[in-house]
Amino acid sequence: MSLQAILEESAAWFGLLTAEQQTRVLRDVFIAHYSAGAIVERKGEMAYAWIGVSSGLVKVSVGNPEGKMASLTGVPAGGWIGEGSLLKGEARKYDVVALRDSTIVRLPVATFNWLLDNSIPFNRYLLHQLNERVGQFIGKAEHDRLLAPDARVARCLAELFNPLLYPGKGMRLNITQEEIGYLARISRQRTNQALRTLEAAHLLKVEYGAVQVLDLDGLKQYGK
């Protein structure tokens, strides 16, 4: 697959650019492949690029010196993260880890800033993404404190189907129960129980290594 085809498939913002802007992006972006478990970006390092997931699945997490970890969110193919660190010119405040073999696209900070200076559609796209991201994290903080495991799994899956953050996705996501457990911060066994409960409620269908969502609004509202 050509670089342009990769961007057209995994970067909704690419189609908003002019031909000149697309040419520069194609010249400047670079792609890297990571095996499951690999660190894509490390907490404390200066942010030097905007990060897009072309294929695979990554998690954004934080930890402390004692080794305690907390997953903040998962990012499937089509998602872009890290714009906040670029806008503030600061070091990453989280780790980005590949949950499965993943292909990552990086847009250098200089090109990112050039697009901000030269593309109104790109600015609008980024503004909508930032607004949606804030709402996502506020909701996640509430859910993690107030919801039971079944509802946490439901909301975790609903986040991965957010049409603004991860546009162009269908209702089927390749994700294992172990990966869902990592993101929802519960055991694999408890994740399995939660998925069966949600399946019995006709909100989703569990497949081998995947989940088919039947009722996205139902997942978003589950447990209220």
pLDDT greater than 90 at residue 31 = yes
Give the whole-angstrom CA distance, residue 63 versus residue 92: 13
Same-domain check for residues 87 and 165 = no
CA distance 220 to 210: 19
Structural domain including 55 reads: 3-134
Assess whether 8 and 80 both reside in one domain.
yes
Q: What is the CATH number of the domain that holds 33?
A: 2.60.120.10
- Check if the beta carbon of residue 153 is closer than 8 Å to that of residue 184: yes
Q: Which of 27-31, 55-59, 82-86, 129-133 has the lowest mean pLDDT?
A: 129-133
Determine the Cα–Cα distance for residues 30 and 105; give it in Å rounded to an integer: 6
Quote the number of domains for the chain. Answer: 2
Dump pLDDT digits (tens) for 192-201: 999 999 999 9
Predicted confidence at residue 138, as pLDDT, reads 64
Query: Taking all residues of the chain, what is their mean pLDDT, rounded to a whole number?
Result: 88
The Cα 155–Cα 203 span in angstroms is 12
> What pLDDT does residue 62 have?
80
User: pLDDT tens across 112-147, in order?
Assistant: 999 999 999 999 999 999 888 877 766 665 555 556
Higher pLDDT, 183 or 58: 58
User: Domain containing 191 — which CATH number?
Assistant: 1.10.10.10
Is 143 domain-assigned? no
CA distance 177 to 199: 13
What digits encode the pLDDT tens for the residues 64-99? Answer: 665 566 667 889 999 999 999 999 999 998 999 999
**Structural domain ending residue among the three candidates 134, 156, 177:** 134
Q: Is residue 101 scored above 90 in pLDDT? A: yes
154 and 54 share a domain?
A: no
Q: Which of 134, 166, 200 is the last residue of a domain?
A: 134
